[in-house]
Structure 1
Amino acid sequence: MASVTGSSLTSFSCFFKQNQAPTRISSPNSVSLSIKGKGFTSLRSYPVPHRFRVSCAAKVETVDKVCEIVRKQLALPAETAVTGDSKFTTLGADSLDTVEIVMGLEEEFGISVEEESAQSITTVQDAADLIEKLIEKKGA
């Protein structure tokens, strides 16, 4: 049994088994779960007055594909770590590189990213989340 409960804007508890003590995390931005070696989708919390919302982040496959595209667009060496938390600026991207990354993502995933949305992308995870949101909207 798994459940997530919130007690305030800054903490929540996760229960995975009946006999397991809860894991308490304060001020989370992103949490990735792994139980018995199996990975699960990352969770992100977004504070809202008097409550919080937990939403599932992009699929691992989407994040991996975005990592590949970012690595290719920035011509990064194989030993450079690119993960969901990687910021484009930290990887050496300037504004033109970011535009090229977005264009590469649009081409790869068959989507169109509005300029307003593109400006909010700062990490690989942000890009993957936006891609899945646009793909879902496109399919609806």
Structure 2
Amino acid sequence: MAAFTSNLMSPSHLACQALAPTRVSGLKMVSFSNSGRSNLPLSFRRLQVSCAAKPETVDKVCGIVRKQLALKDDIAVTGESKFASLGADSLDTVEIVMGLEEEFGITVEEESAQSIATVQDAADLIEKLCEKNSA
């Protein structure tokens, strides 16, 4: 049994390896190498690209979140910060969204607001809505 387990864990049996993310013109590209294997799930065979919001947008969102939650200066707020980890409850999240709508002159639909969990999620949604409004 031990030999079987060690064979499963050997590098030659890994189905896929994530390559280091690369930023190109504001896009974060993540690619996967399947080492010639075709039995990978479809989600591992696709190249995944996500748009990252401008740093200025993320900074503005961080400021709004910090203000709405009355966070002390020693608490770090970054794009990866989750609202729940910062102590936000559902009412706080609604107030954050309202603050974002006011600051950026946008309207966030309820379905979209429910999908926001991090500062980066909010910043990405804001840029998407601002782009949509300017088109």
- Displacement of 1:41: 3.9
What are the Cα deviations for residues 62-82 of structure 1, in whole angstroms up to 9, with x where unaligned?
A: 000000000000000011100
Whether the 8 Å CA contact 1:43–1:55 is kept in 2: the answer is: yes
**Is 1:129 the equivalent of 2:117?**
no
Greater RCO, 1 or 2 (C-alpha within 8 Å, sep 6+): 2
- Displacement of 1:32: 7.5
> Unaligned 5+ residue runs, structure 1?
1-7, 13-24, 26-30, 34-39
Structure with greater helix percent: 2
Q: Tell me the C-alpha RMSD between the 2 structures.
A: 2.5
**Is 1:67 the equivalent of 2:62?**
yes
Q: What is the TM-score when the length of structure 1 is the normalising length?
A: 0.70
State percent identity of aligned pairs. 67
Q: What is the TM-score when the length of structure 2 is the normalising length?
A: 0.72
Partner of 1:90, secondary structure, is helix
Residues 78-117 of structure 1 mapped to structure 2, 5 A cutoff: 78-117=73-112
Q: State how many pairs are aligned.
A: 110
- Partner amino acid for 1:134? L
Q: In structure 2, do the counterparts of structure 1 residues 44 and 84 end up closer, same or farther at CA, with 3 Å as the change threshold?
A: farther
> Unaligned 5+ residue runs, structure 2?
1-14, 33-41
Q: What's the counterpart of residue 28 of structure 2?
A: 43
Question: For residues 89 and 66 of structure 1, what CA distance do their matches in structure 2 show?
Answer: 15
Q: What's the counterpart of residue 50 of structure 2?
A: 55
Structure with greater strand percent: 1
